[in-house]
Copies of this chain bind each other. A is one copy, B any other.
Amino acid sequence: MNDFLSALAAIVGPKHLLTAATDTAPFALDWRRRYQGAPLAVAQPGSTAEVSELVKLCRAHQVAIVPQGGNTSTCGAATPDASGRQLIVALRRLNTVRHVDTDNNALTVEAGVTLQEAQQAAEAAGRLFPLALASQGTCQIGGNLSTNAGGVAVLRYGTMRELTLGLEAVLPDGRVLSQLQGLRKDTTGLDLKQLFIGAEGQLGLITAATLKLFPLPSAHATAMIGLADIETAIAWLNRLRDRFGDRLTAFEVMDAHCQQVLLRHHPGLMPFSAPWLALIELSDGGGAAELNDALANWLAEQDILDGVLAQNETERRKLWTLREEISESQRKDGPSIKHDIAVPTSALPRLVRDCSADLEAAFPGVRIVAFGHAGDGNLHYNVSYTRPGNADLFDDEDAVNAIVYDHVYRLGGTLAAEHGVGQLKKDWLVRYKDPLALELMRGIKRALDPDGLMNPGKWL
C-alpha cells in the first residue's frame, strides 16, 4: 500500500493527498451524520489528467474509489465504508469555469465548481443557470450531476439531467470521455452522458459538464395562497400553468404541521395559516410591475381562502425564506424519519390522504410534516413523532418506511425523487424496484466497471 500511496502522491502532489485521520475526518462522515467511513486516504486531484492517472493507478492496485463533491449527500452516497481500503477522490480542486458561451446559452464548468459559483458565472454573462437547492453554496456540480439533483425550479427548468448538454468523465479504466460541445440536438448514437447522470459515481468520475443557460428574468411576481386541501393545490397548479405557461417557475406547498414548525421558529415571517399553503412564483423578461399586475389581476378573479402578493423584493425574500428555512427549523425540533418521495402529480392527493390514515392507524398521534414540489409530484414527507416512550425515533423507521413506500409504489411512485439512493435506501431499492430494471443496471455496471472499483457498497 505504501507503493500505491507514493505513486498517488506523485500524481496529485503530496500536499493534496491526505492520510492522517484528522485530515480525512471531514470527508469520512456524511452530512446527516449517519455514516462514518474510514478511508484509506483522500486524494484531491487538480486536473482531469490527474484524475485519469489516479484512476489508472487505482485499477492497477485494485483500490476502490469513492468520488466526493461538496459532501452534502443526504443518503451517504459519497461516504466510504469502514474497511480503511477505499480511496476518497475529492473533486474540489477541479473548480474552473472553463467557458461561458453566451450566444449558445451554455456554460462549461468543472465538477468541483459549487452550484452557487455556476449560478454566478451564468449571471455575470446575463444568463440564468436555474438549478437551485438549499445546499447550493456547498454542493458541487459533479455531485448535482451524480444525483440528478432537483430543487425548487424543476417545474419550469427540469432536473439536472435536463439541464445538461454534455459531460467529461473519466471511465473506470482511466480513459477520458469528452462530450462538452454544447449541442442541443445530436442523434449520432446513444446519449452516453445519461449513464453518468444519477449514477452516484458508480460508472465513472464526472470531471466537467456543459450546462444549459436561460434568459435571466428581469421580473418576478411572488405570492403565497391558502388552500383547503391538496386537491385544490393541484387544480391551482394547472390553472396557473394554463394562464401563465412557463412563467410559472415555482409552486411549492406546505401542510399544516409544516406551517406550525415554521411558526415556532419564524413567527414574524408567517403571513397566515391554512390547511395547505402554496408559494407561487412567476418569472419573465420585461417589467416587474407588468408581471405583478398580471398575477394580481388573475388572483383577484379566483376564489381563495387567503393570499398575499409580495409588493417588493424584501417581501419576496421573506416568503422564500419561509420555504428555505423548513429543513433547518425541523432539525431544531429534533430528528425525523425523512422521505423524498414522488408520485404522478394526479396521485398526490390520494397519497397524502391514504398514507396519513395508515400511519395514524399504526401510530396514533403520529406527526407528519409534508412540504415540497407539488408540480413535480415530489413531497418531502417527514415523520417526526411516532409514539410516546420510544427512546429513539429511528426504532420505528422500518415500520414507517414500509407503510409510506407501500403507498408510494401502489401509486406508481418512487422512494428517491431527488436525493438519490446511496447507502441509506439501497435495501429499500432492492425491495421496491423492478428486478428486471436492477438486472439491466447491473449489466451496464459490469460492462463499464468489470472490476467493481467505482463507489462500491452503494446500490449498484
Contacts and interface: CB of A to CB of B under 8 A. Distances in A.
Contact of A413 (B181, B194, B216, B241): B181
Interface stretch (A264-272, A300-308, A438-446): A438-446
A244 B217 CA distance: 10
A186 to B, nearest CB: 4
Interface stretch (A21-29, A82-90, A98-106, A355-363): A98-106
Contacts of A183: 342-344, 377, 412-414, 417
A76 to B, nearest CB: 14
Given A346-B101, A447-B444, A414 B184 contact: no
Interface in A336-361: 342-347
A246 interface: yes
Contacts of A243: 285-286
- Tell me which of A194, A434, A459 has the highest count of chain B C-beta atoms within 10 A of its own C-beta: A194
B448 A440 contact: yes
A292 interface: no
A189 interface: yes
Contact of A197 (B177, B191, B214): B191
Contacts of A126: 242
Interface in A157-208: 158-159, 161-162, 171, 175-179, 181-192, 194-195, 197-199
A207 to B, nearest CB: 14
Contacts of A247: 245
A224 interface: no
Interface residues of A, number: 93
A92 interface: no
Interface of A: 101-106, 126, 147-148, 150, 154, 158-159, 161-162, 171, 175-179, 181-192, 194-195, 197-199, 214-217, 234, 238, 241-247, 283-286, 342-347, 373, 375-378, 412-421, 425, 429, 432-434, 436-438, 440-441, 443-444, 446-448, 459-460
Contacts of A190: 195, 198-199, 440-441, 444
B437 A345 contact: no
Contacts of A241: 105, 214-215, 285
A56 B190 CA distance: 25
B447 A242 contact: no
A447 B437 contact: no
A190 B190 CA distance: 14
B429 A188 contact: yes
B245 A284 contact: yes
A372 B4 CA distance: 54
A242 B413 contact: no
A238 B344 contact: no
Nearest to A294: B286
Contacts of A434: 177-179
B187 A417 contact: yes
Nearest to A376: B184
A212 B316 CA distance: 31
A401 B106 CA distance: 28
A198 B377 CA distance: 27
A321 to B, nearest CB: 24
A436 B175 contact: yes
B188 A433 contact: yes
A187 B147 contact: yes
A162 to B, nearest CB: 6
